[in-house]
Amino acid sequence: MKRDDPRALALRILEEVEGTGAFADTQLGRTLAGTRLDPRDAALLTRLVYGTIAWQLRLDWTLEHLAARPITEIDAPVVATLRLGLLQILFLERVPAHAAVNTSVDLARARAGGGAARFVNAILRRALREGERPPPDAARDPVRHLSIVWSHPLWLVESLGTELGLARTARLLEAHQQAAPTCLRINLNLESRDAALARLRALGLDVRAGRFADTAILLDSPLGRIGQGPTQRAAGFPADARASEPALRSAQSGPSEQRGTRRPGRSGPAEAEASLGVAFQSEASQLAAAALGVRPGERVADLCAAPGGKTGALACGLDSNGQLVAADLTPLAVRTMGNRLGRAPGLGLLCQDGRRPALRHEAFDAVLLDAPCTGLGTLRQHPEIRWRRQPADIERAHAIQLALLVAAADLVRPAGRLVYATCTLGRRENDDVVASFLAHDSRFVRDPIARWLPAAALSLIDPDQTLRTAPDLHGLDGFFAVRLVRRADM
């Protein structure tokens, strides 16, 4: 099998994601940038990587039946090869079944020897004969049925079902298995959206206006056409690499991916951003930044700011008299932001623990706290997150988020405002954090968020003035944002 075969490359990426805690979009982007795949092979590679990760539990459900043993008793390289082969058999109609088997056997032989090759051959040929294992009975065990059918951990399905009901949960799980759009943010100070659309189309890119944010443009062209990053996604599979705001980020809790870091440098194709004059940022993320309502001349703080997407959006609202401080926990995160944002006038970068900020109290007109979270609103873009989270992560995130919010509040001047945002689902990391904060800090009250968002986004706002988005309802990442104002006399 040749070195740049998409299946061999996919296997290597899958092993890195599983074995080292790497993120799929990072590894996929690096691989595509370092190889010369034609567009069809690049698209296949993207489908293989994201599809295998997203459908992992459903694949394992069948593989354990075919192998008559738990997945944990099979060597990791063989498991990755089996998943890759079975994905092609069950989900990729354009891949001939015999090709899926033969290439998987070749990969197993090259990676783990003749015995592994014979084992993979036997399991996948049995899969051809018997097909997919039926899921658990929906009437007897509806939660486990949904867990297997839509390939999500049982604890997560139980949690979502308790909060949302099983019917809504089923729709949400299905939405997680679809491709998220690649979204660009434009600077309306420099050009209108119509002008930006015309300019990008003149470059040969397939673009359209976002639905909710007036700064959003959706990119339907492969990123490979602009010289950096993954190529076009396939319908029915999670999205390819792009700028994102996932995970229990590195903002406050230390460097370990076990607690869910956002890895600095995962900010998307920087070269493409520079060449196109846009930023890669999800539409929901753009709305969360817009909720702060930054005005010229203000002093603004962006806490937990890496990789800098929202920082760039906030900077667009300032002028040369304004000041923007972007802070994050690690030196690497801060350097990454600096590389992405450049030397924007009035921009200062700071390395700090947001629970013990080095910034002066009551110094800012506006503060954005895009808090570290479990990232469960971004499973379309980051399917591996679902396999890395446990229930305890939600409680740990809640404690960190509340501590961060308490500290952030002290930075806001009287009559100033504070936006608390996450990219996750569930009350514990969202509503409960805000409620606990307001119960203990009488200086702040909730402020109507609708007046700060585009008219097209009003349908995303709850009656309690919370911005709340979801993949199944709006086609957006799951985001939560609340706007708080400090009383002028306190």
What was the pLDDT predicted at 131?
96
Instruction: In whole angstroms, give the CA distance from residue 241 to residue 235.
Output: 15
Mean pLDDT is lowest, of 41-45, 190-194, 218-222, 359-363, for 218-222
What was the pLDDT predicted at 82?
98
Residue 97 vs residues 7, 77, 103, 125, 391: alpha-carbon distances, Å? 14, 21, 10, 9, 38
3-state DSSP assignment of residue 228: coil
What was the pLDDT predicted at 344?
78
Q: Does the pLDDT at position 226 exceed 60?
A: no
3-state DSSP assignment of residue 80: helix
Task: Give the list of residues 6+ apart from residue 327 with CB closer than 8 angstroms, or none.
Answer: 301, 302, 303, 304, 305, 334, 349, 350, 351, 352, 354, 357, 359
- Higher-pLDDT residue of 230 and 392 is 392
User: Structure pTM?
Assistant: 0.89
Catalytic hit among 304, 316, 373, 423: 423
pLDDT grade for 224, boundaries at 50, 70 and 90: low
Q: Does the pLDDT at position 159 exceed 80?
A: yes
3-state DSSP assignment of residue 388: helix
pLDDT grade for 124, boundaries at 50, 70 and 90: very high
Structure tokens at 138: 């929906």
Instruction: In whole angstroms, give the CA distance from residue 309 to residue 245.
Output: 8
The ranges of the chain annotated as CATH 3.40.50.150 are 244-266+283-486
pLDDT grade for 352, boundaries at 50, 70 and 90: very high
Task: Give the list of residues 6+ apart from residue 89 with CB closer than 8 angstroms, or none.
Answer: 97, 100, 101, 124, 127, 128
Structure tokens at 309: 């997407």
Q: Does the pLDDT at position 222 exceed 50?
A: yes
| Residues 156, 379 contacting (CB under 8 angstroms) | no
Mean pLDDT is lowest, of 199-213, 293-307, 343-357, 384-398, for 343-357
Determine what percent of the chain is predicted with pLDDT higher than 90. Answer: 81
Q: Does the pLDDT at position 463 exceed 50?
A: yes
pLDDT, mean of residues 90-112:
94
DSSP letters spanning 142-183? HHHHHHHHTT--HHHHHHHHHHH-HHHHHHHHHHHTSPPPEE
Backbone angles phi, psi at 64, to 5 degrees: -65, -35
pLDDT in tens, 261-318: 333 233 345 667 877 889 999 999 999 999 999 999 999 999 999 999 999 999 999 9
What is the CATH number that goes with domain 6-130?
1.10.940.10
pLDDT, mean of residues 346-373:
96
pLDDT grade for 360, boundaries at 50, 70 and 90: very high
The ranges of the chain annotated as CATH 1.10.940.10 are 6-130
Look at the alpha carbons of 129, 135, 136, 137 in this order and tell me if their dihedral is positive or negative. negative
Task: Give the list of residues 6+ apart from residue 435 with CB closer than 8 angstroms, or none.
Answer: none
Architecture of the domain defined by 244-266+283-486: 3-Layer(aba) Sandwich (3.40)
pLDDT grade for 342, boundaries at 50, 70 and 90: confident
Q: Identify the H or E element spanning 297.
A: none
What was the pLDDT predicted at 200?
95
pLDDT, mean of residues 350-370:
96
Q: Is 423 a catalytic residue?
A: yes
pLDDT, mean of residues 87-115:
95
What was the pLDDT predicted at 231?
33
3-state DSSP assignment of residue 481: strand
Residue type present at position 197: L
What was the pLDDT predicted at 237?
27
Mean pLDDT estimate for the chain: 89
Q: Identify the H or E element spanning 389.
A: none
Start-to-end C-alpha separation, the chain: 69
| Residues 239, 181 contacting (CB under 8 angstroms) | yes
